[in-house]
A and B are shown apart, each in its own frame.
Chain A
Amino acid sequence: MSIHIQNGLFIDPVNLSQTKTDIYIQGNLIVGVGKPPANFKADQTIDADNQWVIPGLVDCQVRLREPGQAHKGTINSETQAAVANGITSLCIPPDTQPVIDNTAVVELIHHGNSKAGNRCHIYTIGALSQNLDGEHLTNMAGLKSSGCIALSNANQPFSSNLVQRRAMEYAAGQKMLVIIQPRDNDLYGNGCAHEGAISTRLGLPSIPEAAETAALAKDIELVVQTGARTHFGQLSCARSVDMIRQAKANGLPITADCTMHQLFLTDHDLGDFDTSKLTIPPLRSQFDRQALRDGVVDGTIDCLCSDHQPHEIDAKLCPFPSAEPGISSLDTLLPLALRLAEEGLMTLPEVIARLTINPAKLLGIPAGNLTNGECADICIIDPDAHYLCLGQDFISRGKNTPFEGWDFNGRVTTTIVAGNIVYNRVS
Chain B
Amino acid sequence: MSKHNLQLDENGKLKHFLGIEGLNLAVLTEILDTAESFTSVTERTVKKVPILRGKTVANLFFEPSTRTRSTFELAAQRLSADILSLDLNTSATSKGESLLDTIRNIEAMQIDMFVIRHQDSGSAHFFAQHVKPGVSVLNAGDGQHEHPTQAMLDMFTIRHFKKDFAQLRVAIVGDIAHSRVARSQIHALNILGAAEVRVIAPKTLLPVGIESLGVHLYDNLEQGLKDVDVVIMLRLQKERMRGALLPSEKEYFNLFGLTQERLNCANPDAIVMHPGPANRGVEIESSVMDGPQSVILQQVTFGIAVRMAVMSMTVGR
Contacts and interface: CB of A to CB of B under 8 A. Distances in A.
A393 interface: no
Contacts, number: 85
B194 to A, nearest CB: 18
B116 to A, nearest CB: 10
A289 to B, nearest CB: 17
A314 B145 contact: no
Given A200-B209, A203-B144, A314-B98, A272 B1 contact: yes
A208 B207 CA distance: 11
B215 to A, nearest CB: 11
A317 B129 CA distance: 11
Contacts of B118: 319
Interface string B213-230: 100000000000000000
A188 interface: no
A273 B207 CA distance: 19
A320 B100 contact: no
B210 A320 contact: no
A112 interface: no
B98 A200 contact: no
A206 interface: yes
B1 A271 contact: yes
Contacts of B212: 197, 200-201
Interface string A272-300: 11000000000000000000000000000
B143 A201 contact: no
B3 A273 contact: yes
B175 interface: no
Contact of B122 (A200, A202, A208, A317): A202
B99 interface: yes
B101 to A, nearest CB: 10
Interface in A191-211: 195-206, 208
Interface in B175-215: 180, 183, 207-210, 212-213
B98 A203 contact: no
Interface centre among B120, B125, B207 (most CB of A within 10 A): B120
Nearest to B206: A200
Interface string B103-138: 000000000000000101111011000000000000
Interface centre among B2, B121, B143, B213 (most CB of A within 10 A): B121
A196 B122 contact: no
Interface centre among A203, A273, A317 (most CB of B within 10 A): A203
Nearest to B119: A321
B126 A318 contact: yes
B100 A203 contact: no
B149 to A, nearest CB: 16
Contact of A195 (B98, B99, B125, B208): B208
23 contacts: A197-B208, A197-B210, A197-B212, A197-B213, A199-B209, A200-B208, A200-B209, A201-B212, A203-B143, A203-B180, A204-B143, A205-B144, A273-B3, A273-B122, A273-B126, A314-B98, A318-B120, A319-B120, A319-B123, A319-B142, A319-B143, A321-B120, A321-B122
Given A273-B122, A321-B122, A321-B143, 9 more contacts: A199-B209, A201-B209, A201-B212, A202-B121, A202-B122, A203-B121, A204-B143, A272-B1, A319-B125
